Structure formats: C-alpha cells, structure tokens
Amino acid sequence: MGQQTKLSDSDTSLDGRNAPAHGGVTTNGRSLRSFLRSYLVVLLLPLLFILFSVLAPSTFLTAYNMQTILTTNAVLIILAIGETAVMVTGEFDFSFGGTLGLSAAIVVMMTNLDGISAFEAIVVSFLVALLIGVLNAYFVIKLRVRSFIVTLGMGTLTTGVGLGVTGSQTVSNPSKFLTTAMTKHIAGVGLPFFYGLILVIVTWFLLEYIKTGRNMYFVGEGRKAAFLAGIHVNRIRTGVFILSALTAWLAGMVMLGQTTAVDATYGGPYLLPVFAAVFLGFTTIRPGRFNALGTLVGVLVLAIGSTGLEILSVASWITQVFDGGVLIVAVALANILGGNLIETWT
Amino acid sequence: MASARIALEVAGLKMRFGPVTALEDLTLSIRQGEIHGVVGHNGSGKSTFVEILAGTHVPTSGQMELFGNEVSFPAVAKDRENHPMAVVHQDVGLVGSMSVVDNFRVNRFKRGLIGSVRWRDERRLTRERLSAIGVDVDPRTLVEDLSASDQVLISVARALMDLEQIRQRAEQKDQAILILDEPTSSLPSGAIDSFLDTIREVNRELGTTVIIVSHNPREIMALSNRFSALKNGNLVGTYVTGEVSYKQLAALMAGQSETEMASETQAQAVPLPTEGNRAEKRSELLKATNLGGGRVKSADFSIYSGEVVGMTGLLGSGYEDVPYLLCGSQMKTGGSVRFQERDLNKCNPRIFRDSGGMLLPGDRQLTSGVPTATVRENMTLGYLDPYLKGGILNHRRERRIVSEMMDRLRVRPANPDRPLNEFSGGQQQKSLVGRCLLRSSKLIVIDEPCTGIDVGARNEIHATLREMAANGVAVLVTSCQYEELPMVCDRIIIFQGGYVAGELSGAEVTEEAILRLCYMDMEATRA
C-alpha cells in the first residue's frame, strides 16, 4: 500500500520526470529547483503579461488585444507543432515556409481558373504538400542526405515554384469557403487558434500516451538502440516528415483564409519564431525533451513578448530582435538542460 | 646478435591507474637491430607499455634508456634526435576523408617562397616513398578509398620517413625504433604475409629496431627474433623465438606460466561434445549452418532451450558479430539460421523479436540503452504492448511493473523516472537486463553483459541469466571476458579466425581451457 501512495504521488506530475518524482528523497530546496527547471518558461508567461499590462494598460490589457494575439498566432502554433514532431525524432524540417506558400498559391491560382471548385483546389494543394513530405523523407532516409540540407533546399525550391505559380505577384483569395472557415470566431478568438489547440492536444497525447509517440522519442535519442529493439525507425521518420508537410499545408490554408491575399514567400518569416518556440518548449514542461505543451508555451511567450514590445515601442523591428534573441537564449538553455543531446543537431 | 648493443631498456616500470595496477614491475631490454615481439593476454600490460613508449602515459615509477641515454617522462618525441622512435598505432591514425598526400605529409610539408606548399614536389615524394614499400597509389586518392592493408602501410611509411629524418641528423644512423601496435589487426588475412615481408625488409635494409605487439602467435613466430611475454604487469620472460615451439608461445600469450607450459605439451585440443546425446536432453531451439557475415567466415552451432551458452574468442575472431548476424542488424553473407522451425535467413531486429528472440546489445550508451531516457522507458523499449489499454499507454501500470522489476533486481535508487545516465554502470546494466525479464522470450542474446561494471552487479546479472535458463529460456552470452564465462555458462563456443574452434561443456568449462582454444593452432590441427 505504501508503494501505491508513492506511485500516485508521482502521477501528479505530467510525466514523472519532474519535481514530484524526486519528492520524498530530495530536500525542499532541490524540489524547488527542479520545479523551476520545469516551469521557468511557463512562469515567464504571467510575468510578461503583468509587465506589459502595467506598462500599457490601455492598449495591451484589452480583450481585443488578447483575442488578436491568439488569432494571429494560430499559424505559428500549427507550424511549430509540426516542427516539434520532426525534432522529437532528431531531424529538422526547414521546408515548412515554402510548403505553406506553395500550398496557398496553388489554391489561389486554381480557383481563379474556370471550372475548378475551391474544394478541388484545396485537395490538389494537400496532395502537393504530401508529395513534399514524401520527397523530404525519401532524400533523408533512402539517400541519406541530412535533413538539415534536404529541407533547406526543399524550402527554397518550393518557394520558387510558388512564385512561378503566382507569377511573383500577391494574389487575393477568391475562396469563400476558406475565408469562412478561417475567420469565424468563438469568444472573439478566430477558429484557427482552436485548430492549433486541437493539434497541440493531439500531439501531446500522441507523444505521451501512444506507443508511436514513445518510439518517436527513442528514434531521436537513441536511434541505434531503437532499431535493435525492433522499432520501425524509418517508418517513423517518414511519418514525421509527412506530418510536418501537412501541418505546413494547414498553416497555408489558415493564412490564406485569414489574409485573403497571399504570396509564396509569406511562410519565410516564420522560420525563426518556429524554431524559437520549439526550443523554448524543449526547456519547459518536460525539460530536455521537445514536447507539444512546451511548444505552445513557447509560442505564447513569443507572441506576448513581441506584441507587448511592439505596443510599447511602436516599432515593428523589435519583433525580429525579440524572436532572434529568444532563439539564441532558448537553444543555450536547451543545451544546458540536454547536455550533448542538442550538439548532434546544431 | 649476441654482441648487440641495447636499443631500449626499461627498469622497474610501474604504472597505476587509481587502484588498478597496469604495470607492476617491468624490466626488459630490446637489442639494437632486432625484431622484438611483445605478447601477453588482455590486461597483461602490453598496451600500457606501448602507451608509455609513445609518451601518452607517464609511468608511476621506473627508468627508461634509449640507446644508452636516460629518457625523462613523458617520452614524447619532441626532441626527436634523442627519441628516435615512431609508433604505428592500432587505428593507424589516418584521416579517411583526406588524400594520401595530405595524410602522408601532414605537419611535414616543405614550404615554398611565400610559405605555400609545393604540391607537385610533395606528391612526387609521397609516390616515391609509398612505392618503396609496395604501395602504388595516386597520392591524390582519398585514404578511405584505399584497402585496409594500404592504409596500414601508409602509416608505416610515414613513421619510417620520420625515423629517416631523425637518422639523418643523428650521429648513429641506425639508431631508430619502429613500434607497431597490433598492426595486422585490421588487415585481411591475405595481406598479412606481404606486410610482414615489408617489416622484415625495413629491419634488414635500414637496420631499424622493430618492436611489434601482437596477439597472433603466427605473426610473432614468423617475424620476431626474440619476444617478451607479459603477465599481470610483469615480465614472464624474454625468449629467443627459434627456441620456442608454437604451443609454448601460445601458452605464454594466454598468460600461462612456464610450469603450466610443460604440462601443456601433453594436452590436446579438447574433443567436441557429441551433438547426439545433447539433443536428447534438451530441444534444439536455434541452429546455424555455415553462418557467415561480418568477421564470421563460416560457423555451425546450435542453441538449446534451458541453457546459458557462451561465445568467445580473441577480439576479431568473429564471435562478437554473432548476436547481430542472428538478429539481422548485420548482413549475413552465407549460411542459414533456423529458429524454432522458422528460417531467419532474411531477418531484421523486428522479425527476430516477433519470432521470440530478444537481443540486448553490448553498448549501454549507444545500442542497448538510451542514456537520456528514463529507466522506465529503457526497460520497456520495444515492448510497450503490456502497458497499452485500447492503444493508450497506462503510465501508472508501466511505472508499477518497472518499479517491481527494479526492486527484484535491486536497482538503486529505485526511481523508475530517473534518466538512465544518472545511474552507475552496474545499475544501468541491471536495468537493461530487466528489459529481457519483462517479456517472455524463447531466446535471449546478450552481448557483453558485464563490461565495466562492479563485481556485485556482475554476480547479480549472472544469477539473473541462470534464472532465465532455469525457466527454459535459451540464453546466449557473447563476451571477451574469459574469466566470467565459466561462472555463468553451461557450454562455451570458442571462435578463431571466423570459425568455430571448439566447444566446451560441463566440467571442461574453465578459463584455461577457453584460452587454450583461443590460441590453439587451428591450421595445424586441421592438417
């Protein structure tokens, strides 16, 4: 019975790697430290929130501003979740920006043609995104090119194709269907945020509670051991590249619906914040592991931080300074937490 | 040779690593112009001796004289005229992705007027030097594209060129020592003879003293004038090669004393136990016929349920590849494997697992364990099914079962959610062995179960392996630690040069018997 109590204690933590798992053996000082280790970045959220609320009560602390932050960061959440899955398995995907732009461009151009419905156009763009994911996987797994290189090339390549499709012009979205699906609101927050939230929850569940999720971590952290234990290493790697391409496609649809005008390079600026969010996520909730909730926290930190700074300084360049700075600090933190784990990627 | 001067002399050489004594009190001398073998079993101190000569280790105490001059430690060849020694290490020290000329001349390039390298001259010099010892390659070829034997020869040629430069400056032109540390271990068997010829030529033509460390008795017999046998950090003796029989040499290499050597002459190769009566007692679970792949050339063996069978041999003899050939992670080049009436000829680790096999690979940091993952995750790696309910992982159940297993194996601290790398080596290995217990398998293959762990953990792991066998599981243990195998195995299969050299079972299973088979002259036995 004594053991039962002990076990349920550790069940209160999300994953058991956190503070409560050490409880009983360790002193209060140590459990506080490991609590901070797990939740430091999470604590940053209310701190930033209070800070900006105090500094700019009339502009930052408004329901409208909150709703806007969540709505406009839906694309970032969706992209960052796809990247999280890829990075769990020890790979990179730099091609999501290109996939996003190309998917959106295809929909726009096709619906402008006669006799093609918005739905058909969306299906075609989905298939193209799928193809991009398969190609990434093929080059990385079959031809053994580093994912870093393959996806970097693929991102530029698809952006180029996207520019070709749109004739290098910003084109507006004629699809009513998409606009409706992406601009409807619940409690003032755009639907896409909820799509992103669902993705976060599904991915978190996958990584925590599904066999494939556990195996994904092993593919990233000990690929040889995973292979020798009979895990479908390459099937999992193929899966994440496809998943990542499809989340980029979804992000493309969201962006198209939200902005009504799109250009193949629209995905580019997301490269940095996506990695900043994913690495921030690595340092929190399950420190030392890429995880979906951590990524969500990372996105929110970036979103609140850059919006707040923007409101304060009335200068949009601050966003880039902030994103870049956060990326460096997050990777440094991740390095400290993960030891040489990160070394293999960066 | 009798009136020869001394090239190298060490006296009272002692080397301690913490509590471990690698060299106890080594005194030996090497004559100028001879080829001197250094032999001994694992842990005899021969590698430490080489490391001290190469200057990578500083001995705890002792003296060394080189051509009559006292040498201070570390014996680094900075002052090359006083340290005319060149070492060719086992791993040859070449960079595969760079060209032959780069590797050959690195740090030695002649510079032109503005400090630039004169590539044409360098290439010509490289080509001349290499063809002098029988390697005809374009100096622009990448080293990784060359055969293993050419790579070793390039390394030797580089060492020789260094020695020559030393000699040009030194007063005594023939004062140079070439040290070869297991030079043939990476050579294909066909290339060894010509390599030995090259070394002999170098020794004869240039008067270079050669020290060769080797575990291959054939090589020492063929090459050396004299050899020194080491055991437990001491010199057993220095012998004139021509006065020692192959068998005596093999016994010395295995670390047996001279009195044991005497009785050795009567001992014959151990007869193989007859297959027939064994099969009556236990059912044959796995049968390998002409199995080939990796360093295994052709091996026949059977594994029966309810036994712990060991596989061993000298490093490189092939036994170390067997677990990976069986599970299919390494390519089989021939033969067949039948496992429970099922062919495992085309196999991969998943098929092996699904047909009732279980592999625990040999490297806790890389192949069997994942250091950053928790003990819980490591224990259930590959076998999550018992903890799934409707496809959803039941963490509580997984944690409970792993906790129970940790209690049973006395893994401390008993916290299943700590990362594996926060545990000591012994605790890590016990946890990983626990992985084998969490699933019912017919055959458990464990590679090097007890490397780098303490005696307590080792005994516990042995007990666990015995327990598995008692439950009817077939356990295959591959290990290079001859002293541990008799403690745990019912039967031991010894490999030599890619073939099964013999098999020991029951009372025959002793460390001495294993060593005898490891060093047995197989070719003579066959003939």
- CA dihedral (B350, B352, B357, B359) in degrees, to 10, reads -70
Give the number of beta-carbon pairs within 8 Å between A and B.
104
Note whether B181 and B88 are same-domain residues: yes
B384 and B332, same domain (yes or no): no
Q: Tell which of B387, B405, B440 closes a domain.
A: B440
Interface check for A222 against chain B (CB to CB < 8 A): the answer is: yes
- In this prediction, residue A170 has a pLDDT band, given cuts at 50, 70 and 90, of confident
Residues B86 and B211 in one domain: yes
**DSSP secondary structure code for residue B509 in this structure:** -
Q: Residues near B137 by Cβ (< 8 Å), separated by ≥ 6?
A: B100, B130, B146, B150
Cα gap B451→A140, rounded to integer Å: 35
The alpha carbon torsion through B217, B223, B226, B227 (nearest 10 deg) reads -30
- What's the pLDDT at A344? 41
Q: What is the CATH number of the domain that holds B318?
A: 3.40.50.300
List chain A residues with CB under 8 Å of B377: 214, 217-218
Cβ contact (<8 Å) for B374 and A22? no
* Sequence letter at residue B327: C
Structure confidence at residue B255 (pLDDT): 66
**Buried-exposed string B298-316: b where 16+ CB fall within 10 A, e elsewhere:** bbebbbbbbbbbbbbbbeb
Please give the pLDDT value at position A14.
Answer: 36
State residue B42's pLDDT score.
65
Tell me, yes or no, whether B478 lies in a domain: yes
| Radius of gyration for chain A, computed over Cα atoms and rounded to the nearest angstrom | 21
In a domain, B221, yes or no: yes
Dihedral through CA B200, CA B205, CA B211, CA B214, nearest 10? -10
pLDDT of the residue at B267: 37
Contact (CB<8Å) B368/A225: yes
What pLDDT band is residue B79 in, cutting at 50, 70 and 90?
Answer: low
- The yes-or-no verdict on residue A146 having pLDDT over 50 is yes
Residue A220 forms contact with B (CB below 8 Å): no
B361 inside domain: no
- The residue among B91 and B85 whose pLDDT is bigger is B85
| Calpha distance A163→A186 (Å, rounded) | 34
Averaged over A108-127, what is the pLDDT? 89
Q: Do A225 and B370 touch (CB under 8 A)?
A: yes
**The last residue of a domain, from among B386, B419, B440:** B440
**How many other C-beta atoms are found inside a 10 Å radius of the C-beta of residue A186?**
9
| One domain, residues B351 and B458 | yes
Q: What is the DSSP string of B206-267?
A: H--EEEEE-S-HHHHHHH-SEEEEEETTEEEEEEEGGGS-HHHHHHHHTT--HHHHHHHTT-
Interface test with B, best of A25, A228, A234 (most B CBs within 10 A): A228
* A35 within a domain of the structure (yes/no): no
Residue B429, pLDDT score? 93
| A208, closest residue in chain B (CA to CA) | B393
Instruction: List the structure tokens of B414.
Output: 């008993």
A9 has a chain B CB within 8 A of its CB? no
Q: Is residue A141 part of a domain?
A: yes
What residue in B sits closest to A3 (Cα-Cα)?
B400
- B415 chain-A contacts, CB cut-off 8 A: 21-22, 25
| Nearest chain B Cα distance for residue A226, angstroms | 7
Lowest mean pLDDT, pick from A145-149, A262-266, B405-409: A262-266
Q: Would you place residue A249 in the very low, low, confident or very high pLDDT band (cuts 50, 70, 90)?
A: very high
State pLDDT tens for residues A288-342: 899 999 999 999 999 999 889 888 876 778 888 888 898 888 878 777 765 444 4
* Res B107 pLDDT > 90: no
- Lowest mean pLDDT segment, chosen from A132-146, B146-160, B391-405: B146-160
Residue B35, beta-bridge partner list? B210
Tell me whether residue A333 is in a domain. Answer: yes
Verify that B68 and B178 share a domain, yes or no: yes
Residue A5 lies in a domain: no
Query: Same domain, yes or no, for B392 and B512?
Result: no
Q: Is A218 on the interface with B (CB under 8 A)?
A: yes
**Residue B73 CA to chain centroid, in angstroms?**
28
Are B372 and A208 inside 8 Å of each other by CB?
no
Tens digit of each residue's pLDDT (9 = 90 or more) over B327-338? 999 999 999 999
**Residue numbers of the domain that contains B311:** 268-356+441-527
Mean pLDDT of B432-459: 89
Task: Name the pTM for this structure.
Answer: 0.75
The count of residues in chain B is 527
Count of Cβ atoms closer than 10 Å to residue B483 Cβ: 12
If one compares A150 and B142, the residue with the highest pLDDT of the two is A150
Indicate whether B88 and B178 sit together in one domain.
yes
Share of chain B above pLDDT 70, in %: 87
- What is the Cα gyration radius of chain B? 26
Residues B80 and B208 in one domain: yes
How wide is the angle at C-alpha A247 spanned by C-alphas A241 and A252, nearest 5°? 125
Do B184 and B89 share a structural domain? Answer: yes
Instruction: Count other Cβ atoms within 10 Å, centred on residue A128.
Output: 19
Residue B186 located in a structural domain: yes
Looking at the partner chain, which of B349, B372, B388 has a beta carbon nearest the beta carbon of A229? Answer: B349
- The domain total for chain B is 3
B392: phi then psi, degrees, rounded to nearest 5: -105, 135
Parent domain of A112: 40-344
Q: Quickly state the pLDDT bin for B256 (edges 50, 70, 90).
A: low
Minimal Cα–Cα distance from B353 to chain A, Å?
Answer: 7
Contact status, residue B399 vs residue B384, Cβ threshold 8 Å:
no
For residue B85, the cross-strand partners are B177
B159 inside domain: no
B243 and B273 together in one domain? no
| From B348, B367, B393, residue closest to A214, measured CB to CB | B393
pLDDT, tens digit, for every residue of B365-384? 889 999 999 999 999 999 99
Q: How many domains does chain A contain in total?
A: 1
Strand partners, A262: A171
d(Cα B309, Cα B278) in Å, to the nearest integer?
13
Residue A131 pLDDT: 98
Residue B98 lies in a domain: no
Q: Would residue B392 count as lying in a domain?
A: yes
Q: Which of B409, B440, B471 is at the close of a domain?
A: B440
Query: What is the per-residue pLDDT across A216-246, written as a single tens digit (0 to 9) for each?
Result: 999 999 999 999 999 999 999 999 999 999 9
Whichever domain contains A134, its CATH number is 1.10.3470
Beta strands A261-262; A171-172: pairing state = antiparallel
Decide if pLDDT at B187 tops 80.
no
Say which of A210, A225, A231 has its CB closest to residue B367: A225
**Does the distance separating the beta carbons of B392 and A210 come in below 8 Å?**
yes
**Residue the block writes with tokens 């297991």:** B182
In this complex, is the C-beta atom of A210 within 8 Å of any C-beta atom belonging to chain B? yes
Specify if B344 maps to a domain. yes
Residue B297 DSSP label: E
**Which residues in chain B are closer than 8 Å to A11, comparing Cβ atoms?**
395-396, 399
Answer for the pair B223, B212: CB distance below 8 angstroms, yes or no. yes
Lowest mean pLDDT, pick from A22-26, A181-185, B40-44, B420-424? A22-26
In this prediction, residue A272 has a pLDDT band, given cuts at 50, 70 and 90, of: very high
Residue in this structure with the two tokens 């430290």, named with its chain if needed: A33
Tokens of A81: 């979740």
Find, in chain A, the residue whose alpha carbon is nearest to that of B385: A211
Cβ distance of A8 and B403 shorter than 8 Å? no
E strands in B417-498 = 443-447, 474-478, 491-496
Helices (H), B328-408: 349-354, 375-379, 395-408
Looking at residue B455, its pLDDT comes to 79
